[in-house]
């Protein structure tokens, strides 16, 4: 473990001997590292066997956290190990594509589309990523996919 990763683990109260365990506050290290855009820590944790199926207390997975951080490298690392790109938040039914579209993360939307994110999934309130697109660019990207049936 390099010094920067060691320091991050220590500063966030994670065990350096069991790095994939939650800290005493119940925070999962993979989710926090992704939320902070720390691709070095995400890679370390994945190498240590961190589960990509963990959820935070809002019902989101680490991919959601990486999208929140606008961290393309963390997104790539998580997708490369098979995290569920179409996982739906347990409280709202939103996917990471819906989140990214609704929050104006244009490059993240492009990255998720390129990785095969489903555009037809809906929230529990029956909204799609297209319905919640928050910028003209995202609207055009999603509309083109929906219209083509991809």
Mean pLDDT, the chain, whole residue set: 96
Q: What percent of the chain has pLDDT over 70?
A: 99
Looking at the chain, how many residues does it have?
Answer: 150
Domain boundaries, the chain: 1-84, 85-150
Q: Do domains 1-84 and 85-150 have the same CATH topology?
A: yes
The pLDDT tens digits of the residues spanning 93-138 come to 999 999 999 999 999 999 999 999 999 999 999 999 999 999 999 9
Q: Tokens standing for 68?
A: 């929140």
* CATH for the stretch 85-150: 1.25.40.20
pLDDT band at 148; cut points 50, 70, 90: confident
Flag whether the pTM goes above 0.75. Answer: yes
Give the C-alpha separation, 66 to 33, whole Å. 8
Give the C-alpha separation, 93 to 81, whole Å. 23
Give the C-alpha separation, 124 to 142, whole Å. 20
Class for domain 1-84, per CATH?
Answer: mainly alpha
The pLDDT tens digits of the residues spanning 56-103 come to 999 999 999 999 999 999 999 999 999 999 999 989 999 999 999 999
Give the C-alpha separation, 43 to 49, whole Å. 10
Q: What is the mean pLDDT of residues 23-33?
A: 97
Helix (H, G, I), strand (E, B) or coil at 94: coil
pLDDT given for residue 147 in this prediction: 85
The pLDDT tens digits of the residues spanning 39-58 come to 999 999 999 999 999 999 99
């Amino acid at each position: 473990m390099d010094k920067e990763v060691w320091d991050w683990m220590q500063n966030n109260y994670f065990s350096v001997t069991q790095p994939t365990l939650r800290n005493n506050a119940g925070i999962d290290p993979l989710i926090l590292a992704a939320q902070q855009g720390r691709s070095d820590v995400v890679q370390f944790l994945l190498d240590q066997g961190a589960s990509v199926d963990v959820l935070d207390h809002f019902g989101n997975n680490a991919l959601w956290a990486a999208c929140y951080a606008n961290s393309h490298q963390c997104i790539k690392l998580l997708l490369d190990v098979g995290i569920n790109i179409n996982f739906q938040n347990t409280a709202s039914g939103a996917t990471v594509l819906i989140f990214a579209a609704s929050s104006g993360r244009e490059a993240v939307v492009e990255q998720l589309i390129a990785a095969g994110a489903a555009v037809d999934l809906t929230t529990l309130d029956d909204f799609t990523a297209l319905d919640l697109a928050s910028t003209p660019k995202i609207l055009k990207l999603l509309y083109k996919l929906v219209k083509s049936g991809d």
